[in-house]
Amino acid sequence: MTEIMDTRQFFLNRSTRRSYTRRDIPDPVLNDLLLQASHAPTTGNMQLYSVIVTRDPDLKRQLSPAHFNQPSVTAAPVVLTFCADFNRFVKWCRQRGADPGYDNFQSFMTAVLDTAILAQQFCTVAEMAGLGCCYLGTTTYNAPQIARLLDLPPMVVPVTTLTVGYPDGDGVEVGRLPLDGWVHSEKYVDYTPAAIDSIYAAKESRPDSRRFVAENGKDSLAQVFTDVRYTREANELFSAIFRDFIARSGFPFPD
């Protein structure tokens, strides 16, 4: 019973950790966490992923610009690049007289889901072992650069990255939307203006949100997202780059 309560509190209180001590993660520890994570669900037990472990400081420095120099890349003892991987599976098929039909968007999406599920399971088991993790969403922005640095062959696409280390300092509680803001019973109930106001009220009134708005000279928190953090210009640029990379990697999109 105590154990169940502890687990619940663990999940409610977890948070992203971007700062790490200098303590290393020994290979046996990392490999055991990867082993635990590999028992996460995977489509048809195909395990359509690969993980690249970066420990070499020089390689971390080279990866850093692909992640817009977020400091956790060089600060973490371990950087894990999670890749959607049909290369291995397709090679196995060809070697066994089977004709693989995985050079398409649906297969790409299947591998992306397998990869994200693995990454999150790794994040959970690592955090339970006292480590801290930070996802790098920049992975899909600069996939071509990352693929070049890590020697990724065709049909291997970097999907997300985790920096991992023993956390330094305390985690920051960032809050979440209320449950009824994103859970729908039986059918999706679209949001009225009043519902939007109510769902985002707590988020908007947080001191850190108010500070973001002030620091960026904006009128609203939403404008910090649209004008500063995730702009149309960047999204459109990186959409074109990523789509082109995926197609060149061997997953041509249907026209």
Interactions with a copy of itself, residue window 94-113 (CB under 8 A): 95-102, 104-107, 109-110, 112-113
Q: Which of 13, 28, 170, 214 forms a contact with a copy of itself (CB under 8 A)?
A: 13
Distance in Å, CB of 154 to a copy of itself, minimum: 10
Residue 245 interacts with a copy of itself (CB under 8 A)?
no
Dihedral angle computed from the Cα positions of residues 216, 139, 144 and 91, in that order, rounded to the nearest 10 degrees: -170
CA distance 81 to 129: 20
CA distances from residue 78 to 1, 47, 55, 255 in whole angstroms, order as listed:
35, 22, 5, 40
Least distance between a copy of itself and beta carbon 109 (Å): 5
HEC secondary structure over 33-89:
HHHHHCCCCCHHHCCCEEEEEECCHHHHHHHHHHHCCCCHHHHCCEEEEEEEECHHH
**Residue at token pair 């999204």:** 235
Residue 231 binds to a copy of itself (criterion: CB under 8 A): yes
Rounded to the nearest whole angstrom, what is the least distance from the CB of residue 71 to a copy of itself in the complex?
17
**Choice from 61, 169, 230, 248 touching a copy of itself (CB under 8 A):** 230
Residue span binding a copy of itself (CB under 8 A) among the ranges 18-26, 67-75, 133-141 = 133-141
Tell me the closest approach of the beta carbon of residue 21 to a copy of itself, in angstroms. 20
138 vs 148: CA distance, rounded Å: 15
Q: Single out the residue of 91, 85, 64, 86 nearest to residue 75, CA to CA.
A: 64
Residues 143-182 contacting a copy of itself, CB under 8 A: 150-153, 156, 159-160, 174-177, 179, 181-182
Q: How far is the CB of 63 from a copy of itself (least distance, A)?
A: 11
Residue 78 beta carbon to a copy of itself: minimum distance, rounded to whole angstroms: 11
Quick one: 71 or 195, whose CB is closer to a copy of itself?
195
Scored b (16 or more CB within 10 A) or e, 81-119 reads bbbbbbbbbbeeeeeeeeeeebbeeebbebbbbbbbbbb
Is 250 among the residues that bind a copy of itself (CB under 8 A)? no
Question: What contacts 24+ positions apart, CB below 8 Å, involve 207-216?
Answer: 208/174
* Among 34, 64, 166, 168, interactor with a copy of itself by CB under 8 A: 34
- Cα distances (Å, whole numbers) of residue 118 to 1, 121, 125: 28, 5, 11
Verify binding: residue 51, a copy of itself, rule CB under 8 A.
Answer: yes
Give the interface segment with a copy of itself, choosing from 18-26, 67-75, 189-197 (CB under 8 A).
189-197
Shortest CB 12 distance to a copy of itself, Å: 6
